[in-house]
Structure 1
Amino acid sequence: MGEGMKAMLAKPIQLADQVAKQAGWQCFRPECMELRTRAEKLAALLRQAARAELYERPAARIMADTERALNKAEATAARCFQSHSRLRRFFTLNPVSALPRTLALLDTALQDVAWLLSISTPHADDDDGLHGLPNIAQNEPILSQIWDHIARLHNGSLAARADAAGILASLARDNAHYAKLIIEEDGVAPLVKLLKDGTDDGQEAAATALGLLGRDEESVEKLLNAGVCSVFAAALKEPPMRVRAVVAEAIASLAHHNQRCQDLLAQTNAVRHLVSHLTAGTIQEHSRYSVTGNSSRNATPPASMTSLHSVVLAKTFSVHDGTSGFPANEPPSSSEASDGQQQAGKNQMQSVVQSVIAAKTTTNGVTGLPGRAMLTSNGLSGRGLREAEDPDTKANMKAMAAKALWKLARGHVGVCKSITESRALLCFAKLLEQGAGGAGTDLQFYSAMAIMEITRVAEHNLALRQSAFKPSSLAAKAVMEQLLRIVSKGDDDDDLIRPCITALGCLARTFTASETRVVGPLVELLDDRELPVTKETVVALTKFACTENHLHVNHCKAIVDGGGAPHLVQLVYLGDLQIEALILLCYIAMHVPESEELARAGVLAVLLWASKQAHMVQDLRVETLLADAKGRLELFQSRSSISVIH
């Protein structure tokens, strides 16, 4: 017991002794004898409490109430037992009505202290039942349950602690107020300890509870101060896979609400372990990989080829050696590639993975890139345990790892750099290709969201964009192929399409002039789609058409050639995306004002109409852009061709 708790108990013990000494020795009233009896019992319980390891949160409130009750009892006894003659003391007028009230307060204190001892004292049988409702929790009965289960986390057996953690997790899941109460009543520290030292069931329950407690930034901050990040990072490596999956989900929850969680986890090995779980079973182990082929140039790279650039060059030579069916310096057209790329996509994905993995290892199995940590499980025992897990558990582990990486990567350059320097981009591409139904759908969605967050950071970070999404990067090509496949497919899964559209828009400045397959599928999504998908599409196309994009003319022509102008005109007139559609239309009018498609779509009329709409002109994004676009378009198109808008 700490010194603070001893000091908290000292005053009530002294008061109880004083009341017992004053009451009953020379007074013949039965009430005074009852006062003495209760004071003696209370003093005995308080001394017993001083020898126990008390749960401090309820103990502080109980001791405060007990001290107030003893102060009142001491004042009542003092009025009866002042230094007078025995006869005067016998006839002293003392309000008898105060004695029953004082006795009731002492009875309440006795019950509360007894309850405190019952929850603070470990029992051999670890009684799973509740210890009753203390008087101090009458106004909020749930507080008694929270105290009881937190106390069991402190002094119960491992099985009792696991049950208590599970009940606290249920309470936190049901009600946000209960989650705050658990944090306020110091429930985080024993949960963290259970996650470190508990049984498998206890660790799983503790991780679940900790994830559910972090519902807002303030709550997560308290969890971080309790050292939860370092424990999470360690738990991703040691416990069984089902526990690690829950830990990964908890990391995702905490990272969603507090950015400092991203900083702290980025300083640990959490990202490394999450990537390891993501790649396990999706990408073969590094020792099994070699770059195979029909020619000698496709053989396993020599020890000197230890850089990713060397392997990229080797892979480029093999692809352009006539095996792909396209000239080495000429990209395939969309019509030529539509059948061939779909057939070769799956075969090339495995080859891409092999090339990048071979770049990270040498022929003797030692890490080829200095300073790059291995991301696979160390030792046959760990790999064997992982392979022994049931498929549902492994699928859930991958889904939660992808979800955690998504949340950790959001707006964090360091985490995004760690992910892109590993095999995670290739793994995300593979999961986008494989996922179908059930857990696969979650894997696809979480992978797409992770890619979206990484590309959002890369859009505004030149170094990350150049290192992770350079045109020669095979991992970036694999990701782009899968994003483009999903967008081109255009199925009804809007939740999956939206992050893919956003990611393509964020990568708009990374595409070369020879890449002409991206804009067309995006333009097709402008036609009769749900509002969220249409909005993401317009925003993405704006990033292709804006002046900051060095290929803006090419992209604007592609948008017009794909039939985007009529759709944008309709969105400006009638849609809920008037401002966004108008901005994109202005960029197109500025960069390709001579287009006949713009004239047939009546774009100039739209711009003239928009310039008279107050809510459009007042938008700061539109004010200057609209005037410039209208002026450029008037130079190339005649006003006589404008239809009158009523």
Structure 2
Amino acid sequence: MFLVIWHCIATVRTSHRVSDQIDAVKSLASLALDNKLYKKYIVQEQGLPPLVKLLEDGACLYAQIAAADALCVLTNDQNIMDKVMIVILRLLKDAPIEVQIQAIELVTEMAEQYSITVYDSVEWNVILPIVTLLSAETSTDELKTCCAEALWTLAAKSKTNCMTITKTRAMLSLAKLVEKERGKLRYYCLMTIMEITAVAETDIHFRCTVFKTNAASTKAVVDQLLGVIEESRNPIQQIPAIRSIGSLARIFPSHETRIISLLISLLHNKHLTVASEAEIALKKFTSPDNYLCFDHWKSVMKFISLPALMRLIGGGNRLQRHRWDLLIILYLFYLYQHLRGSRH
């Protein structure tokens, strides 16, 4: 096997046939993925320099993509990763669509494989062209789907990336895609929104900046989330929409009853996770941490009585804890209102 590695490295370094170079590069990446010892040996035998040269100077776009992919498998060296990203950025701008798709898929792989700190120095570059391609009329459905998946992966657990995404004015584009698309593209857009709203839930400055109640983008996002919750029969799409609404619970005014009634209707949903997420979202509306919790509690009580909620509490299923938590919150507000009334 070590002879195979030597042969592949030599082919990448000296071959004049691009197809042979690409095959050799893919073989090196495959070997590195299969065995950590092979990966270490490729690096020791100076397999990285010819890959970097092919990445930077390759006349074939597909050879550059193959080299970038192999380098991501073989190393997490920051200098090399920056070189990979520079090439990816160039390909996103100038390459044919099929190459752009491969480049974006590589971004997704890098985001999944490495710590998000890999992107700290260049994230303002890579996110903008991805958002641009996601919104371009000339982009194919496959390209848009890859862009949406990449945005979701970049946004996941990264407050910085979520902020960068919103600075590109992506929220309105995501809302429009949720409205008109279906399948994976719609799902990845919903998951991206879910990650961004999760950051908004814990960061008041971000929430007030990105999700202003009178902003067109906020209205568009909320309307589409509610549309998915109300009209979709696909739990895979409903669940991120419900979570997003729950994360935004603090932005809704006291007279917002449509959301409350919609979430209450989902408490009877046959899909256990949908019902559970609805309960968690309702808790965020009525939690004492929410400034308008008392007003939201009164809205809840218009649509559901305590006995009705008691009947929803099953015997030992996994939803029981969330329902008891919600019941306790509602009951405490009930006592508060009762005691307040008795004083007058």
TM-score above 0.5:
yes
1:442: Cα distance to partner? 1.3
Partner of residue 120 from structure 2, selected from 245, 263, 282: 263
Partner of residue 282 from structure 2, selected from 523, 527, 541: 541
Aligned match of 2:154: 408
Of 477-486 and 185-194, deviating more is 185-194
Aligned match of 2:246: 505
1:184: Cα distance to partner? 5.3
Conserved 8 A contact 2:33-2:39: no
Q: Does 1:197 align with 2:53?
A: no
Q: Does 1:153 align with 2:9?
A: no
Alignment of 1:191-340 (within 5 A): 191-198=51-58, 199-209=60-70, 213=73, 222=76, 224-227=78-81, 228-257=84-113, 258-266=115-123, 268-281=124-137
Partner of residue 446 from structure 1, selected from 185, 188, 193: 188
2:257 aligned counterpart, secondary structure = coil
Partner of residue 223 from structure 2, selected from 463, 481, 494: 481
1:193: Cα distance to partner? 4.0
Percent sequence identity over aligned pairs? 31
Conserved 8 A contact 2:309-2:327: no
CA separation of 1:572 and 1:588: change in aligned 2, threshold 3 A: farther
Report the AA paired with residue 555 of structure 1. Answer: H
CA separation of 1:239 and 1:147: change in aligned 2, threshold 3 A: farther
* 1:344-367 CA distance string (max 9 Å, x none): xxxxxxxxxxxxxxxxxxxxxxxx
Conserved 8 A contact 1:545-1:552: yes
Q: Does 1:165 align with 2:22?
A: no
1:222: Cα distance to partner? 1.8
Aligned match of 1:399: 145
Structure 2 unpaired stretches of 5+: none
Conserved 8 A contact 1:523-1:564: no
CA separation of 1:160 and 1:456: change in aligned 2, threshold 3 A: same
Partner of residue 261 from structure 2, selected from 509, 513, 520: 520
Report the AA paired with residue 279 of structure 1. Answer: S
Q: TM-score normalized by structure 2?
A: 0.85
1:572: Cα distance to partner? 5.5
1:573: Cα distance to partner? 3.4
Q: Does 1:181 align with 2:42?
A: no
Conserved 8 A contact 2:78-2:118: yes
* 1:43-64 CA distance string (max 9 Å, x none): xxxxxxxxxxxxxxxxxxxxxx
Conserved 8 A contact 1:508-1:543: yes
Q: Does 1:417 align with 2:150?
A: no
Conserved 8 A contact 2:144-2:185: yes
Q: How much is the aligned-residue C-alpha RMSD, in angstroms?
A: 2.9
Aligned match of 2:202: 460
2:132 aligned counterpart, secondary structure = helix
Structure 1 unpaired stretches of 5+: 1-140, 214-218, 282-386, 596-631, 637-646
* 1:575-596 CA distance string (max 9 Å, x none): 213322222221111123489x
Conserved 8 A contact 1:163-1:202: no
CA separation of 1:434 and 1:163: change in aligned 2, threshold 3 A: same
2:270 aligned counterpart, secondary structure = coil
1:259: Cα distance to partner? 2.0
CA separation of 1:235 and 1:575: change in aligned 2, threshold 3 A: same
Q: Which has the higher helix share?
A: 2
* 1:385-432 CA distance string (max 9 Å, x none): xx4xxx7xx222211111111121223333222221223111101110
Q: TM-score normalized by structure 1?
A: 0.47
Conserved 8 A contact 2:254-2:296: no
1:207: Cα distance to partner? 4.5
The number of residue pairs the alignment matches comes to 332
Conserved 8 A contact 1:203-1:243: no
1:529 aligned counterpart, secondary structure = coil
1:543: Cα distance to partner? 1.0
Conserved 8 A contact 1:208-1:250: yes
Aligned match of 2:296: 555
Q: Which of the two has higher C-alpha Rg?
A: 1
1:244: Cα distance to partner? 1.9
Cα distance in 2 for residues equivalent to 1:462 and 1:451: 17
Cα distance in 2 for residues equivalent to 1:191 and 1:442: 34
CA separation of 1:252 and 1:479: change in aligned 2, threshold 3 A: same
* 1:278-335 CA distance string (max 9 Å, x none): 1111xxxxxxxxxxxxxxxxxxxxxxxxxxxxxxxxxxxxxxxxxxxxxxxxxxxxxx
Report the AA paired with residue 255 of structure 1. Answer: A
1:190: Cα distance to partner? 4.1
* 1:472-511 CA distance string (max 9 Å, x none): 11011101110000001140x2211111111111100011
Conserved 8 A contact 1:572-1:579: no
